[in-house]
Chain A
Amino acid sequence: MTDSDIGYLTPVIDEDGAPFWQYAARGQLRIQACASCDELRFPPRPCCPHCRSFDSTWRRMSGRGRIWSYVLPHPPLLPGYAEQAPYNAVVVELADAPRIRLVGNVVAAADAPLNSVDPELLSVGAPVRVAFTAASGGVTVPRWLLER
């Protein structure tokens, strides 16, 4: 059974985003940065909105962040998500670069389900750190663990 059969979505990776997922597969959280003016940008794109350079590099982040916001989706949802609902979806702002924000999920362990953390433990501003989960389809996705 493929992910799409159960309604669980794997990223459709485009040329701009490919390095993010390649680094994630190696357990690294890297964000696109301009090779000319050094500005970070997310989501990835062909040129720098700050200086318009087409040269970029991928800078490694510490993997630490804070919950910027979160929701608890309830059905109706795609089947793969409905089974785990209510689960959390969060926006994490990175400690290294607060204007860089990533959508993700807070889980109890890297390979735990999306509903493995009690929602009562979630709050805006709560510190988190990244972990990586090998999803089926050969894609590795970042997940987030609450810092103690």
Chain B
Amino acid sequence: MATLKDATAIAGIGQTAFAKHLPESEKTLACRAILAALDDAGLDPAEVDAFASYTMEETDEVEIAKAIGAGDVTFFSKVGYGGGGSCATVAHLAAAVATGQANVGVAWRSRKRGSGPRPWKNTTAQLPTPGQWTRPFGLLRPADEIGMLTRRYMHEYGATRDHLFNVALACRNRANQNPAAIMYERPLTRETYMTSRWISEPLCLFDNCLETDGALACVVVGAGRARDCRHRPVYVHSVAQGLPAQHHGMVNYWNDDPLAGPAWTAARRLWKTADLGPQDVDVAQIYDAFTPLVPLSLEGYGFCGRGEGGPFTEGGALEIGGRLPLNTGGGLSEAYVHGFNLINEGVKQLRGVSTAQVPGASTCLVTAGEGVPTSALLLRS
């Protein structure tokens, strides 16, 4: 059986500044991040022959290829479901390169605040299936949909707001160490968290992502080619997407088991094609647009048992030096760019250059949004 295992590597990463407002367009930001990633790899933009991004990405590959001076492009792909698509962009490029459909692939995400659907401002928000069964009843935003799952999760397993705070705090602490992060030098206290305003009870302000302007990109090439690039290759060891049986888009209250979401499906495939298991992961970048996605993902990817995701966060487990250092660039406190910053942070860890470096890290799990059809990457140095 053909395998993707370590056949390709991420050879370059690039990003723009992250800010509440950047003057340049999404297209300009995308070009800057992509050219930075190619420069980081030491590759000529004319060599790029593959592109992958999200369906929500508003800059398209035709415009990008033309602007950066790419050569003839022989592979292009877009992945659906917002933040669920992040890791799949790299997975699609890895598959294309490993099977000889292309040689140099670029994945990117460029996003400014207010880009894409904003269901709390826009009455034309999607209402056909499954929207007709949720939106008219005032279940309008992703925060409301995830809040619903969170209440049930708390009820079923005894997870608490302190567990969610542990997640928010670990991410914020790492952002406080990262000069590029939106929340650099802005510490979070338990009191600030517990007294903040509700967004959708039981989710408060600090359980939610902070919208950011910014763009990121990475370059995927064959493993042999990567060894000739500027930096130590970060190998794509295992990849997976996950759309569980009987799933329904963002909300999955209609599954037999709504608390075992797409992460479980992706994880089964991810570990099946890997030489490693959860116990071998040195550092994790877990999609955290909402804090409860982290305990749900910890369970899904097998770091703990069903219902144990809350207690797993106790005792500094997610901090540097803890059982599973988490989101070392800051996660949502670094930037909200549909999770692409988590991919680049995984590469930084395995190069040994993170602002919150885990000593000797050689394996990193990166995940995309839980709740929506998702994807994951297992990276190794």
Contact = CB atoms under 8 A, between A and B. Distances in A.
Interface residues of B, number: 41
Contacts of B149: 69
B163 to A, nearest CB: 17
A71 to B, nearest CB: 4
A14 B128 contact: yes
Interface in B114-138: 119-121, 123, 125, 127-138
Nearest to B203: A71
Classify the interface of chain A: helix, strand, loop or mixed. Answer: loop
Interface in B132-153: 132-141, 143-144, 147-149, 151-152
Contacts of B251: 103
B253 A49 contact: no
B253 to A, nearest CB: 5
Contacts of A12: 127-128, 131-132
Contacts of B144: 71, 73, 89
B278 interface: no
Given A69-B148, A70-B151, A86 B198 contact: yes
A35 B220 CA distance: 50
A104 B120 CA distance: 18
B132 A68 contact: no
Contact of A73 (B132, B136, B140, B151): B140
B133 A43 contact: yes
Contacts of A131: none
A66 to B, nearest CB: 12
A103 B133 contact: yes
A120 B201 CA distance: 12
A62 interface: no
Contact of B121 (A11, A78, A104, A105): A78
Interface in A50-94: 68-74, 76-78, 81, 84, 86-87, 89, 91
Interface string A1-40: 0001001011111101100000000000000000000000
A95 B134 CA distance: 20
Contacts of A7: 123
B148 A9 contact: no
B139 A9 contact: no
Contact of A43 (B129, B138, B140): B129
A105 B198 contact: no
25 contacts: A9-B127, A9-B135, A11-B133, A12-B131, A14-B128, A14-B129, A14-B132, A43-B248, A49-B246, A69-B148, A71-B200, A71-B203, A72-B200, A72-B201, A73-B138, A73-B143, A73-B147, A76-B121, A77-B138, A78-B119, A78-B140, A81-B138, A86-B201, A100-B254, A114-B138
Interface of B: 119-121, 123, 125, 127-141, 143-144, 147-149, 151-152, 155, 197-203, 246, 248, 251, 253-254, 256
Interface of A: 4, 7, 9-14, 16-17, 42-43, 49, 68-74, 76-78, 81, 84, 86-87, 89, 91, 99-105, 114, 119, 124, 135, 141
Given A12-B127, A14-B129, A91-B148, 10 more contacts: A12-B131, A68-B152, A69-B155, A71-B144, A71-B202, A74-B199, A74-B201, A78-B120, A89-B148, A124-B155
